Chain A
Amino acid sequence: MKYTEEHEWLRVEGDHVVVGITEHAATQLGDVVFVEMPEVETQVATGDEVVVIESVKAASDILAPIDGEIVEVNDELASNPGLVNEDPTGRAWFFKLKVDDLSVLDTFMDEDEYADLIG
């Protein structure tokens, strides 16, 4: 698993990258009550706002961590947004990206580096 400074996790699955948010991010957000997903087959560039997450407190975004094409989104989060708090690194993945070159993941933090970031 790799991590971004925006508290997303990235996991390689075949030639796709699965993206979610970390336990730390889910705790900071508080109870998630609404998730707005992108359309499948959307081309995204690094930094694009891809997902909107609304918690009881506020709205926030997930930005695309890398360039790619959205090939699948987790529809379960639309009907059960609370999964983001229950299982952020497992069942509450957000979307899968098809990327040209998986080696781009090497630039992200590993688990120890991320643990240092959140102190």
Chain B
Amino acid sequence: MADLQRLPLHDLHVEHGARMVPFAGWEMPVQFQGVMAEHLHTREKAGLFDVSHMGQVILKPRAGMDALAHELEALMPVSVAALAEGRQRYGLLTNEQGGIRDDLMFANRGDHFYVVVNAACKDADIAHLTAHLGDQVQPVQGRALLALQGPLAEDALARLVPAVSAMRFMDVITVDTLFGPLWISRSGYTGEDGFEISVPDAGADGFARALLAMEKVAPIGLGARDSLRLEAGLCLYGHDIDDRTSPVEAGLTWAIQKSRRAGGFAGDDRIVKELSEGPERLRVGLLPEGRAPMREGVALFAADGTPVGTVTSGGFGPSVGKPVAMGYVASAHAAVGTPLFGEVRGKRLPVTVAALPFVPASYKR
């Protein structure tokens, strides 16, 4: 894996028995003890994920936070100006056609915004942001990004950083520690309570070891990260959303605050129209009836045989105990409870449109 970038915690992962695979230009741990066990551990206790492959970016205003917020609002159908200091929000970079360039998290840290973007989109995002915002865009170097997720995440992290106990979902803080200054948000991508922690490379190994020394914390690979986010109904960029899907058809209208629904952002022609008239297709949850998983690419049909859509993510849901999937279907077939068929190895098997998420979120609001 010569051309791949190595994580700051590479040696630690190998020590814990990780199987390393190439992903988005990085050598990443896909599993440690096994996807099923890691998934269930995260839902019951606390899982530590290395997400250092994701892009961390600082947006440092040249003429005040308000001016920068308005510049960002031209690129995202999301309210940036109204985000209070110390708070984080889910955002979407859109293109002129109303498709999604990337989904991201952004935080107001007083005198700058801190943004976390997908690994596969990082270079394109930085180029796009720089084209519009110039040298206000400063990619973060030399920091690992870890996620600690699960019902015991607060208990575990608070032993090292007591201040996290006072945080609510989507709060962000900076804390000086033995491991260097930590940038902590109470968020994640598993549906569980938890934290994402940006830590200087030099302190990352010590910080991760201090967490993993606790019985309740186990290292978790990308495999379980995928099954956890799928059960939580969360989109994976490049699969459930991409540069052709709009936020409205992706079911991400909740991320577009009411103040932004009149337009004034890239792709507003299509997005505003879809907000008022409804989109042609919608992302939905899908519960296969049998035990056969319906994976990405499975074609979906109505009862009369009409093609109505495609699965974009699917697999076995360890906490649900059976296969789960999501995909896009024509809006007329998107109501919860609609019976459909998915074609698996030439056979059309029954599947029902289901509400998302499959596992209720347990964020600490």
Contacts of A34 in B (CB 8 A): 291-293, 316, 323
A54 touches B223 (CB 8 A): no
Contact flags B300-320 to A (C-beta < 8 A → 1, else 0): 000000000000000110100
Instruction: Please indicate the chain A residues that have their CB under 8 angstroms from the CB of B190 in the complex.
Output: none
* Interface membership of B34, Cβ < 8 A: yes
Which A residues touch B345, using CB under 8 A?
A: 36, 52
Count of A interface residues, CB-CB < 8 Å? 13
Instruction: Check B223 against A30 for contact (C-beta < 8 Å).
Output: yes
Check B292 against A57 for contact (C-beta < 8 Å).
no
Contacts of A88 in B (CB 8 A): none
Contact with B along A63-85 (1 / 0, CB 8 A): 00000000000000010010000
Q: Tell me the minimal C-beta distance from A116 to chain B in angstroms.
A: 22
A31 within 8 A of B: yes
A56 touches B316 (CB 8 A): yes
Q: Does B69 contact A (CB under 8 A)?
A: no
In the bound complex, residues from chain B placing their C-beta under 8 Å from that of A33 are 291, 293, 316, 323
A30 to B316: give the CA distance in the assembly, Å: 12
Residues of A within 8 A of B295 (CB): 58-59
The distance in angstroms between the C-alpha atoms of A31 and B40, with both chains bound, is: 13
Q: Considering the complex, give the chain B residue whose CB is closest to the CB of A61.
A: B345
Q: List 22 A-B contacts (CB under 8 A).
A: A30-B34, A30-B35, A30-B36, A30-B223, A31-B34, A31-B35, A31-B36, A31-B318, A33-B293, A33-B316, A34-B292, A34-B293, A36-B345, A52-B345, A54-B292, A54-B293, A54-B316, A56-B35, A56-B36, A56-B223, A56-B227, A81-B291
Q: Which B residues lie at the A interface, using CB under 8 A?
A: 31, 34-37, 223, 227, 291-293, 295, 315-316, 318, 323, 345
